[in-house]
Structure 1
Amino acid sequence: MSPEDKPSKTEDRHETLRTIGRQGSRVSLAILLSRLFGFLRDMLIAERFGTGAMADLFYVAYRIPNMLRELFAEGALSSAFIPTLTRTLDREGRDEAERLYTGVFLLLTLILLPVILGGMLFAPEILSLLAPGWSIDPDRKDLGSLMIRIMFPFLYFISLSALIMGVYNAQKRFFLPAASPIAFSLALIAATLLPDSLLPGPPILRLALGVLAGGLSQWGVQWLLLGETAFISWMYFLWPRPGRTPGSGGSWHVFFPRWGDSGSPRGSSDRHPVRILSCHRNDRRPLLRHAL
């Protein structure tokens, strides 16, 4: 190594450290804002709906879509897709990265649509499985089934949000994905503050609609702000073999083992960008550590 190379490498190292510091401070700010809005959201929900029977019914109805979100979105998809997309973008270029993104998008859609349709179709059976005692009351069963049907499509939008988060991370853009849960919180805050006369039916239905709107908002904000770097070319929808590029095969090879692992205590950690109040039979207090 020549003496001239040493200053250059030192400068590169310093620039790398400065970049890490800038990105780290931005992500920290985004996480702080997300937690503050999440905390405000949880307080408003608790103040408006309390911990009565209707609130319990909402939490039960939300449990299955939320569990599937952890499996499909923040769990396996993030851990398998993001590093594969980053590697494909660096080594094979934008065109192959777009093909990989589109292939995973199509395959994820093919997987999720039957899951969502099945959840909506069998909503009464799901409610009976989660809360057998409530199935005795026809009105409560109908309301719980309706909320399940409203919230199940949330799974699709929040999974797309995780997919677009991979695009941002592959391009070393970290602030917006970290701040996007604010959109979810704002949607639930708006749903909580809506006047009772604005929507027909029980007020608790507004929370179910807020969850759906929040998932759509969290995905939509990231999608709209991708701008010219949007990682989807509609011509690739005609590509005959979705999910089979030099990179995507590796992505799904990693995806399925991690999908199964994401259901374990280690896989389903507390690092979830969306988690509203958790309500348990023996502890009905809001879990503020999940305010994000």
Structure 2
Amino acid sequence: MELTSITPLILTYNEAANIDRTLGRLTWADRVVVVDSYSTDATIDVATSYENVDLVQREFDDHTSQWSYGLDQVETEWILSLDADYQVPAEFVEEVRNLEPPLTLAGYRSNFTYCVYGRPLRGTLYPPRIVLFRNERARYGQDGHTQRLSVDGSVNELDTSLYHDDRKPLSEWLDNQHRYARLEAEKLAQADDVGITDQLRKTDVLAPLLTPLYCLFVQGLILDGWAGWHYTLQRTYAELLLALVRVDARLRDDSESSREGTA
């Protein structure tokens, strides 16, 4: 695959802690499209310091609309969709360069190596994603607190993983979890046919209990020291918060129903 046929696409909002490391791995691309949601930190200055970056701004409403807007800014056949805390290793670029996709192929899915302050973990709950795809065959839809990409055609697996290494302050991560938990709770309330993870979440008990055990012992993060413990605590906190939001909503509904019954 010709690298000139690929445009990396990145969404940003206050990603000064990450964006330089991400863009530094994309100098092979003729053009990188960054869709910024009016960052107030140094994100814009860092991004525009790269000659191959084309930065556009759009007020954020939801992830689906923001990514869809980004698709409209790309002129090449292929898009490499990246979060601002993803790093593309040289081995990944070389693998992509050697690809010979048939016309029936719509995209490629990649696994991730999760990093905590630069230290790779031996396991993660972070799911694989379709990251490289034909623009004309792709569309985004909302999926809980984030977005889901659908492509028209077959998808192959890439051998090389991308790196996920978010170094924004913990306080920002904690603030985001409250919004994410509310959106995930709304998604679960509306979903009937769900996978095993969401089935566990719907119990409001099992996911918070099983998450630390799965991270530490099944994924082996107990062997990664404080970095593994850091990730385990983050994932457990997220599941606890989601369960709390759902239980709180149930109790509120029960309380209101009781008041209406006695009125």
Compare relative contact order (CA 8 Å, sep 6+) and give the higher one, 1 or 2: 1
| Bin for the TM-score computed over the shorter chain | under 0.3
Normalized per residue, which structure has more helix? Answer: 1
TM-score normalised over the length of structure 1: 0.20
